[in-house]
Structure 1
């Protein structure tokens, strides 16, 4: 595997790299970085994102901070159909299920990661072989006041459920733009969480995801 490119020194440099990637297909990029391509993404969910991270020189990996922490930019690849329809929800971060006293929206990982996002659309139609899927034009986005308010509202409502020991009552339907979903390889994976009476109990890890209607709106406004 080729070494990751040095991280860009400015947002302008990052955008130049992202724009020069537009129009290329995943096979070409994987060959360049000498990365073996999986046949499909069933067992390699984050493969496309990792390839794009490598090409752009992202630093954070799975740390709870933006991918380009020195630029304050989070990187998100987003699968879209031929007609420009967003095909799946976007993972943001693991949800904290314990030690949440005093945690506010403003100092949450979700808030930090969504201050400024570089969206990289990638063809996601399953009938297109992975190697032939094209990378689209990059979009640099900062949430508007209204979008921030919606995100904050959903986050606070979901965290309220977690704090009173009712995380199991939160379904993917909760939230207007942000949702909470199990985030683990299978339902056998357990982690500590707050119980009904404030005691520690066990549940599946959860993650925060952006709903497709929200990301569709972002892409439609900026594409």
Structure 2
């Protein structure tokens, strides 16, 4: 079928899968498969197409050619564009061994230096044998990406050396993450070498944003909509990290008011809710209507925050509105919110003075372990309220006991979701003031007898942003 010692032969054979399904190309023996579980597409591919038994060996799947096979699902967006459905999980991190390794001779690099990637269109309504294989190609990391990935690997390794394997987070790094792998049960916890506390099993993974970049490259899509903030020569210099390069671009503007920053950059930024985020992007040298390539790969979000003269931050920081049914059905480990709070953020603080707001500081931040646990408790409380059907508490009333109404004439409702005073880290409340924007409820509300409720968000408390991000 192919020469096991030849990467060209293996890749050529793999490309015969493109635009086909496993049922079409592997009949009739594949019809009687018995593989179960999340990774069974890859297992079927290995056994029935490439002709070897699925395994968890530390060497590449095609050892003689030095190629590792990975399959990954795609999703179709509403506009018809193709994107990765999830991060690309690589090999398990062996806490007891990785701290002894150097990158070039590490198990990670030996296994994942040369990838053979097979992307298929996921469809929950189809049998796994009928998933359409959309893209097939090899992947070798461009040098500028490799330098970042090498730094990421060293950050993960150092955290293990520091006895903090249990505190690992995908927000610690840029392109190469350390994602949880396995169930939430105790059997998925592992010993770590420099701390008696067990750590959740984790695997190296390429972040979803980086996988989308790979997909665009393989599909030869036009990626001119992205702007780059880092020159190749900057990242190839091992003295520089992404953090160093990005922050160095902000420093010359520290202490300068927003209007003067515009003048220095010779541009006019439209006044809107996104004004300070747009100004931050302009400082980085990226056109306002373009996404930042490096941030897209690393899934970094810019949070532009206004600070009052007394260091008070008035506005809490919101996450996207959540769907009640989604929280009702998912576990914390697989939740969208867990992924969101593990990400890395770039906070840019503009502080008020008599002339307006000036650029005070910029810093990268990801949530500490103890605060992620606090967020988890608030998420679990939210899930419990949704499950019980006790979201509605009462109508807001004035001092005379009369129901209060919004400016749009809707009665203001109070609910039992976690409030600001319940946690130093986060709370739940609506995003916006229009209660007519609703999501379906999985359980009917017991008091109102309704099956939908106004959209809600998780928020980082403004005081938390001040104390734990701005002032630290």
User: TM-score scaled by structure 1?
Assistant: 0.84
**Are 1:76 and 2:76 matched, yes or no?**
no
Structure 1's unaligned 5+ residue stretches are none
**Are 1:44 and 2:44 matched, yes or no?**
no
Structure number with greater Rg is 2
1:148 is displaced (CA, Å) by 1.0
Match of 1:108 in 2: 106
**Contact 1:23/1:136, CA 8 A, preserved across alignment:** yes
Counterpart CA distance in 1 for 2:73 and 2:135 is 12
**Contact 2:191/2:198, CA 8 A, preserved across alignment:** yes
Q: Deviations over 1:136-159 (max 9, x none)?
A: 231111111111111111111111
Counterpart CA distance in 2 for 1:87 and 1:158 is 24
3-state SS of 2:116 partner:
strand
Counterpart CA distance in 1 for 2:215 and 2:38 is 22
1:206 is displaced (CA, Å) by 1.7
Counterpart CA distance in 2 for 1:91 and 1:135 is 19
**Contact 2:23/2:30, CA 8 A, preserved across alignment:** no
Counterpart CA distance in 1 for 2:66 and 2:141 is 13
**Are 1:11 and 2:20 matched, yes or no?**
no
Counterpart CA distance in 2 for 1:99 and 1:212 is 27
Match of 1:174 in 2: 172
> Residues 170 and 203 of structure 1: is their aligned pair in 2 closer, same or farther, counting only changes over 3 Å?
closer
1:127 is displaced (CA, Å) by 4.1
Match of 2:123 in 1: 125
1:203 is displaced (CA, Å) by 2.5
Considering only aligned residues, what root-mean-square deviation do their CA atoms show, in Å? 2.4
1:181 is displaced (CA, Å) by 2.2
Counterpart CA distance in 2 for 1:163 and 1:36 is 46
3-state SS of 1:173 partner:
helix
Q: How does 1:193-208 map to 2 (within 5 A)?
A: 193-194=192-193, 198-208=194-204
**Are 1:215 and 2:211 matched, yes or no?**
yes
Structure 2's unaligned 5+ residue stretches are 220-472
Q: Deviations over 1:132-181 (max 9, x none)?
A: 21112311111111111111111111111111111122223221111112
**Contact 2:72/2:88, CA 8 A, preserved across alignment:** yes
> Residues 212 and 118 of structure 1: is their aligned pair in 2 closer, same or farther, counting only changes over 3 Å?
same
Counterpart CA distance in 1 for 2:138 and 2:53 is 18
User: TM-score scaled by structure 2?
Assistant: 0.42
Counterpart CA distance in 1 for 2:218 and 2:102 is 30
Match of 1:191 in 2: 190
Number of aligned residue pairs:
213
Counterpart CA distance in 1 for 2:54 and 2:60 is 6
Q: Name the stretch that deviates more: 145-154 or 95-104.
A: 95-104
Report which of the two has the higher share of strand.
2
1:187 is displaced (CA, Å) by 2.6
Q: Deviations over 1:182-211 (max 9, x none)?
A: 2223331132113xxx35442322211110
After the TM superposition, list the runs of 4 or more consecutive aligned residues in structure 1 that deviate by more than 4 angstroms: none
Counterpart CA distance in 1 for 2:102 and 2:13 is 35
Counterpart CA distance in 2 for 1:77 and 1:66 is 14
> Residues 138 and 110 of structure 1: is their aligned pair in 2 closer, same or farther, counting only changes over 3 Å?
same
3-state SS of 1:121 partner:
strand
3-state SS of 1:136 partner:
strand
> Residues 58 and 7 of structure 1: is their aligned pair in 2 closer, same or farther, counting only changes over 3 Å?
farther
Counterpart CA distance in 2 for 1:171 and 1:13 is 38
**Are 1:64 and 2:58 matched, yes or no?**
yes
